[in-house]
């Protein structure tokens, strides 16, 4: 006669895990059946060694479409993991009895398109907690299960839970069609274990399923249910590392466990867990420079226990413990409490998987690179500074860039903690996420190694790209990732696309990324001849097409074009300096008919070397600055862009302050529309208003125009002016306001008062201190006398 022990558990519950361990030890089954995908039967033996360290998860994905995946996560405190370990350590057959993973990638809906539940399924724990007078199902479960040690009869708690679940299901608790199919398959697997000759079978499953497994219908009934299943998808399955933080998420691939770090502590700690946990909290806070002593810990323990008594709980739970931490250890600080929640209540524990676990070749190559480059995956975020002049750091950089190209954001660029602006240094923020295993399986279609997969993905992305800026960004990524084999193919696509694209905005948006890529050639040893030629060609086309492309733009398009003009200005500066070009003084003349006038921008030769790019760009800016709207806004360039062009020419020394003042005086005259003038001022002052302080004449012109604007017009231009001056530095705004309030801006500055006599004795007393600060030997100057003279 076969005996079956149905151990109904709550997934990821430490109390259930302890109860399962006690029940299996007492009952001594000869087979263990666990709720989970049957495809994992072939890899469950890996749990016997010490290399499979929880938290881990079973990952199943469709062979033909790895993006269709499902996870079954297990922590050390998961009852299923306890059952797995008991089975493999005692040499027992361990089988998973849920529906195969091939049925889990699509929703199993009923004929009406719903899950067949007739409404949303209720939470059984919430119903039981409400019946017991609790308003929080988590607190009820902690009091009833988590805080109670197994008694003499280890099977008694499971019988009580089964009775409660049976009563709920008898009352018509919503059951989905998927639940009925799963339970039919579980019953079939139990029958198969009986036929295999097992006499004592332990079944570990969710408590909700226990009543359906206890009342065995006929075999024909279950076969008829399972005949409704759709065609099974062929799937592969393996073990992958998991994290406590992922367990705490209730959406996506999470399990909805709100406090995995706390549950891990409850399961692994013998005796009273509260004092030990509060000691860990104190250590964490002290490490973050919070003044916490042993007296704080003692008082916090007392407070947690007192709160549990006042609230009628058998032991202090997480709520009481956190209240004690907030009041005593954190002294009411929510910031410090959030640190405890993040590090201890949730935690960043990351599991480990043995090399023998099935993986795709791409995953094995990545693991090899991680070992050789000493980059161990970790769930906790950490910063990594790389010096690209070192071979190991350069290889790390290439790996991280290649993974980003494959959609695996293990590392993201971060602001460097080292004060350096050189291109030889990179900073990254590393954080490994469990779902990267799915993305690795998806990326396996591109190749068997990281380099091969990234190169093939780059070529495929280039051929499918629709915009020029996307291609230039891809070229930059290929250069950073060291994909020399893929770069020529991407460059061919870029050249063809650039030849067909006539939109100046697209060309301007594509140029900066291409020029940035040239900067990395010296450090990474890349041949960038083709890049330089393509960048120079784009730059020339932008110089020729920019002025007419800016005519008639609306406010939104003008703002976007201003950003592109700034980016192109910096890119051409880098490109010209890389080519050794210098400015042509003859091109700086201001006026029509000269080499620097508008005709030079639109009628220049087709191709010039890098030496002339700066002059070509300056000519384009002068042409843009001269395109005033003579017959309405649609006949000229917006004031925002004209003002920006003048400011860039002024900053480059191609206009002096007198010329800039003359242009400002013209645009602020009564002949110009106030809105256009306000836009011109915004473009002129973008990036810094310190020039108004250095040249009082410009500030006086602006003040004179502003005070002369009528009240109706002032209301219209006020938003533009507020936005303009809000972008200035706080110190500049304060100084401008002070000068305006001091009186007429056109008056010459008042002569400063004559300084008094130098008190040499007091000055010499400070010399040793200043010398000490500067690290030099103090030298007191000798007083000059008439004889010395």
pLDDT tens digits for 39-54? 999 999 999 888 899 9
Residue 418 pLDDT level (bands cut at 50, 70, 90)? low
Give the SS3 label for residue 311. coil
* Cβ-contact 234, 102 below 8 angstroms: yes
**Number of other residues whose CB lies within 10 A of the CB of residue 371:** 10
Note the pLDDT tens digit of each residue in 232-251: 899 999 999 988 888 876 54
pLDDT(522) > 80: no
d(CA 470, CA 467) in angstroms, rounded, equals: 5
DSSP 433: -
Name which of 165-174, 227-236, 482-491, 562-571 the model is least confident about: 165-174
Between CA 117 and CA 645 the distance in angstroms is: 66
DSSP secondary-structure letter at 352?
Answer: B
Q: What's the rounded mean pLDDT across residues 21-30?
A: 94
The mean per-residue pLDDT over the stretch 507-518 comes to 79
Please, are residues 150 and 16 in contact by the beta-carbon 8 Å criterion?
no
Q: What is the 3-state secondary structure (H, E, C) of 217-247?
A: CCHHHHHHHHCCCCCCCCEEEEEEECEHHHH
What is the pLDDT, as a whole number, of residue 726? 79
Span 151-157, average pLDDT: 83
Q: How confident is the model at residue 592 (pLDDT cuts 50, 70, 90)?
A: very low
Q: Give the model's pLDDT for residue 702.
A: 76
The pLDDT value given to residue 492: 85
Assign 505 a pLDDT band (cuts: 50, 70, 90).
Answer: confident
Average of per-residue pLDDT across 307-314: 89
- 467 has a pLDDT exceeding 50: yes
Give the pLDDT confidence score for residue 114 in this predicted structure. Answer: 41
What is the H or E stretch that residue 413 is in? strand 411-413
Phi, psi of 68 (to 5 degrees): -85, 100
**What's the pLDDT score for residue 665?**
77
For residue 563, pLDDT over 60 is answered with yes
Q: How is residue 310 annotated by DSSP? A: H
Is pLDDT larger for residue 535 or for residue 750?
A: 535
CA distance 399 to 375: 10
- Quick check: pTM over 0.85? no
Most confident of 537-551, 567-581, 746-760: 537-551
Q: Who wins on pLDDT, 182 or 630?
A: 182
Percentage of residues of the chain with pLDDT beyond 70: 84
pLDDT surpasses 70 at 135: yes
DSSP state of 213: H
Mean pLDDT (the chain) is: 82
pLDDT of residue 748: 52
Rounded Cα–Cα distance for residues 513 and 557 (Å): 21
User: How far, CA to CA in Å, does 301 sit from each of 140, 266, 282, 304, 323?
Assistant: 22, 16, 12, 5, 11
Q: What is the pLDDT averaged over residues 623-636?
A: 75
Q: Which band of pLDDT confidence, cut at 50, 70 and 90, is reported for residue 252?
A: very low
Residue identified by tokens 């639109």 is: 602
Taking Cα atoms as reference points, which of 580, 402, 160, 730 lies closest to residue 738? 730
Average confidence (pLDDT) over 288-315: 93
**Rounded-to-integer distance, Cα 326 and Cα 478, Å:** 50
pLDDT at 453: 94
Q: Taking residues 504-525, report their average pLDDT.
A: 71
Is 622 a residue whose pLDDT tops 50?
yes
Q: Tokens at residue 529, please?
A: 């001849």
- Give the percent of the chain with pLDDT over 90: 32
The predicted structure's pLDDT at residue 422: 58
CB 98 within 8 A of CB 38: yes
Task: Categorize the per-residue pLDDT at 416 as very low, low, confident or very high, splitting at 50, 70 and 90.
Answer: low
SS3 47: helix
CA distances from 393 to 310, 384, 425 (A): 58, 10, 9
Q: Residue 513 — very low, low, confident or very high, per pLDDT cuts 50/70/90?
A: confident
Does residue 514 surpass a pLDDT of 60?
yes
The CA-CA-CA angle for residues 774, 777, 783, to 5°, reads 110
* Band of residue 780 on the pLDDT scale cut at 50, 70, 90: low
The position carrying tokens 């009925």 is 180
């Amino acid at each position: 006669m076969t005996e079956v022990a149905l151990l109904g558990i709550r997934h990821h519950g430490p109390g259930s895990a302890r109860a399962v361990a006690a029940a299996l030890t007492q009952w001594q089954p000869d087979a263990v059946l666990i709720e989970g995908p049957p495809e994992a039967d072939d890899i469950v033996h890996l749990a016997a060694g010490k290399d499979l360290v929880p938290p881990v998860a079973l990952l199943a994905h469709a062979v033909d479409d790895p993006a269709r995946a499902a996870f079954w996560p297990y922590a050390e405190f998961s009852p299923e993991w306890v059952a797995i370990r008991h089975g493999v350590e005692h040499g027992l057959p361990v089988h998973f009895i849920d529906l195969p993973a091939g049925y889990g990638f699509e929703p199993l809906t009923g004929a009406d398109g719903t899950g067949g539940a007739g409404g949303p399924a209720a939470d059984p724990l919430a119903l039981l907690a409400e019946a017991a007078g609790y308003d929080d199902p988590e607190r009820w479960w902690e009091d009833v299960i988590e805080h109670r040690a197994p008694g003499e009869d280890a099977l008694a708690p499971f019988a009580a839970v089964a009775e409660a679940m049976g009563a709920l299901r008898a009352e018509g608790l919503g059951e989905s069609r998927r639940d009925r199919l799963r339970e039919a398959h579980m019953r079939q697997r139990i029958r198969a274990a009986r036929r295999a000759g097992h006499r004592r079978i332990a079944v570990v499953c969710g408590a909700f399923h226990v009543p359906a497994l206890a009342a065995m219908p006929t075999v024909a009934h279950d076969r008829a249910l399972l005949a409704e299943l759709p065609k099974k998808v062929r799937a592969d399955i393996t073990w992958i590392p998991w994290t406590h933080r992922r367990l705490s998420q209730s959406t996506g691939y999470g399990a909805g466990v709100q406090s995995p770090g706390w549950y891990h502590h409850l399961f692994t700690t013998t005796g009273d867990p509260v004092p030990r946990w509060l000691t860990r909290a104190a250590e964490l806070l002290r490490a973050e420079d919070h003044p916490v002593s042993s007296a704080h810990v003692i008082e916090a323990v007392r407070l947690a226990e007192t709160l549990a008594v006042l609230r009628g709980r058998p032991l202090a739970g997480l709520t009481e413990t956190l209240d004690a931490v907030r009041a005593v250890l954190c002294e009411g600080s929510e910031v410090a409490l959030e640190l405890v929640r993040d590090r201890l209540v949730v935690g960043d524990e990351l599991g480990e998987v043995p090399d023998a676990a099935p993986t795709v070749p791409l995953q094995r190559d990545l693991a090899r690179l991680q070992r050789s480059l000493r980059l161990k995956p970790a769930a906790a975020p950490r910063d990594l500074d790389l010096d690209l002049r070192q071979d190991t750091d350069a290889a790390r950089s290439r790996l991280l860039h290649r993974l980003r190209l494959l959609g695996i954001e293990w590392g993201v660029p971060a602001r460097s903690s080292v004060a350096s602006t050189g291109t030889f240094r990179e900073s990254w923020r590393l954080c490994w996420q469990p779902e990267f295993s799915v993305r690795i399986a998806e990326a396996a279609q591109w190749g068997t190694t990281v380099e091969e997969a990234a190169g093939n993905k780059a070529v495929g992305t280039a051929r499918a790209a629709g915009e020029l800026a996307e291609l230039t960004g891809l070229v930059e990524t290929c250069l950073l990732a060291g994909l020399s084999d893929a770069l020529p193919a991407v460059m061919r696509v870029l050249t063809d696309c650039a030849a067909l694209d006539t939109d100046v905005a697209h060309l301007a948006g594509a140029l900066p990324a291409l020029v940035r890529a040239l900067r990395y050639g010296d450090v990474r040893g890349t041949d960038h001849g083709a890049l330089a030629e393509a960048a120079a060609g784009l730059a020339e086309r932008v110089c020729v097409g920019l002025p007419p492309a800016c005519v008639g733009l609306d406010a939104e398009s003008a703002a976007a074009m201003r950003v592109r003009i700034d980016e192109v200005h910096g890119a051409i500066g880098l490109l010209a300096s890389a080519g050794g070009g210098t400015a042509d003084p003859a091109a700086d003349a201001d006026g029509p008919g000269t080499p620097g006038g508008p005709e030079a921008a639109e009628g220049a030769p087709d191709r010039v070397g890098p030496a002339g790019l700066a002059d070509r760009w300056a000519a384009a800016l002068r042409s843009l600055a001269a395109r005033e709207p003579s017959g309405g806004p649609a006949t000229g360039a917006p004031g925002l862009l004209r003002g920006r062009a003048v400011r860039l020419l002024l900053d480059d020394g191609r206009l002096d302050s007198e010329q800039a003042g003359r242009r400002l005086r013209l645009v602020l005259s009564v002949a110009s529309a106030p809105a256009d003038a306000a836009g011109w001022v915004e473009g002129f002052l973008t990036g810094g208003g310190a020039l108004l302080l250095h040249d009082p004449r410009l500030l006086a012109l602006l003040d004179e125009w502003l005070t002369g604007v009528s009240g109706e017009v002032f209301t219209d231009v006020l938003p533009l002016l507020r936005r303009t001056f809000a972008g200035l530095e706080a110190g500049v705004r304060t100084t401008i306001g002070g000068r305006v309030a001091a009186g007429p801006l056109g008056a010459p500055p008042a002569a400063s008062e004559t300084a008094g006599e130098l008190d040499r004795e007091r000055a010499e007393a400070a010399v040793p201190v200043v010398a000490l600060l500067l690290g030099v030997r103090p030298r007191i100057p000798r007083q000059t006398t008439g004889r010395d003279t």
